Structure 1
Amino acid sequence: MVSYKIKFSLFSFIFLLNLILRSCGAPFSSIRVVYIIDALESSSKPLTVHCQSKDDNLGYKNLHSGEEYNFRFQEKFFGGTLFFCHFWWDDKNIIFDVYNDDIATFCGDLIPLEGFDYECFWKVQEDGFYFAPHRDPPSGYEKKHDWSKVLV
């Protein structure tokens, strides 16, 4: 049987190692920022967005044309971080993942020299939802979802 001293020492070592690595900005503790940009016509109704993860309900946001909403989070240690959003506009609505392990691989560096913080952009338009790893250039956005369905 493993003694209490050994268990306590192992736990202490893992705990301290985690604190040290997080304070150094290790890649597995990177900060992610997801942006939702309302690029709908200026005369249109507001876009309502409700984002959440398993652990965090970020609430409802009403965006008008040209406005944006963003949220930050730290990825889970072993991956599996997922945020999804429900979007309503006019008589349309859709729910999809705005961040998961697959999407994470396409997010762009927020601070290229440090490389530990990443951002993902979702632009909402009349014909659907566009994703880009960086805000600019506009041609970098790729359509990912229609209002009625998820595209492959």
Structure 2
Amino acid sequence: MAKILKSIIVLFILLASNLVDAKMRVSVTNMLDHNLDLTIHCKSKDDDLGEHLIHHLQRYEFAFGETFFGTTQFFCGFQWKGAFKWFDIYIEKRDACYSGRCNWKIKQHQACMHDGDSEIEICYPYNKVG
């Protein structure tokens, strides 16, 4: 009986570690009007990815492992001439990303998740400040 229990525990640990190590990729493309540059600064509870400049129609990508408990969340600040917005770019329980990749387009008034296969966009307003 003890051997079976040990085997079950080892199997559970192996399965859980594979889930935790699963990589998710987030891609953010600058789709601002008027060829504006976009400065992006993304963070999670545990990681600060730093500040990056994205030229018009260019993209920034990052990857991470999701948590076993489904609580992974990243938020980003977006700044361009005359504007600052912030948005929860990845919420594990909200985002049904395609093939382990979340493709976002940043526009003046909203952030849009883009499914590259079907060209469907799901758009969200930016978070309210304060």
C-alpha displacement at 1:70, in angstroms? 0.8
- Confirm or deny that 1:128 pairs with 2:110: yes
Structure-1 separation of matches of 2:19 and 2:47: 22
Match of 1:82 among 73, 79, 82: 73
**Aligned equivalent of 1:51:** 42
> What number of residue pairs does the alignment pair up?
125
2:124 is equivalent to residue 144 of structure 1:
yes
Distance in 1 of aligned mates of 2:9 and 2:61: 33
**Deviation (angstroms), 1:149:** 4.3
Greater Rg over alpha carbons, structure: 1
- Superposition pairs of residues 1-152 of structure 1, within 5 angstroms: 17-18=12-13, 20-21=14-15, 26-27=18-19, 29-41=21-33, 43-44=35-36, 46-104=37-95, 106-109=96-99, 118-132=100-114, 134-138=115-119, 140-146=120-126, 149=128
In structure 2, distance between residues paired with 1:22 and 1:142: 31
TM-score for the superposition, normalised by structure 1: 0.68
CA drift of 1:142 comes to 2.1
Q: Distance in 2 between matches of 1:15 and 1:64?
A: 48
Deviations 1:104-140 (A, max 9, x none): 3x2112xxxxxxxx111110123322112x23443x1
Q: Deviations over 1:66-119 (max 9, x none)?
A: 110011010112121111101111111111211113323x2112xxxxxxxx11
Identify unmatched segments of 5+ residues in structure 1: 1-9, 110-117
Change (3 A) 1:127 1:78: closer
Match of 1:107, as an amino acid? C
What CA distance in whole angstroms lies between the structure 1 residues aligned with 2:56 and 2:12?
Answer: 46
Gaps of 5+ in 2: 1-5
- What root-mean-square deviation, in Å, do the aligned CA atoms of Structure 1 and Structure 2 show? 2.8
More strand as a share of residues: 2
Q: TM-score, normalised by structure 2?
A: 0.78
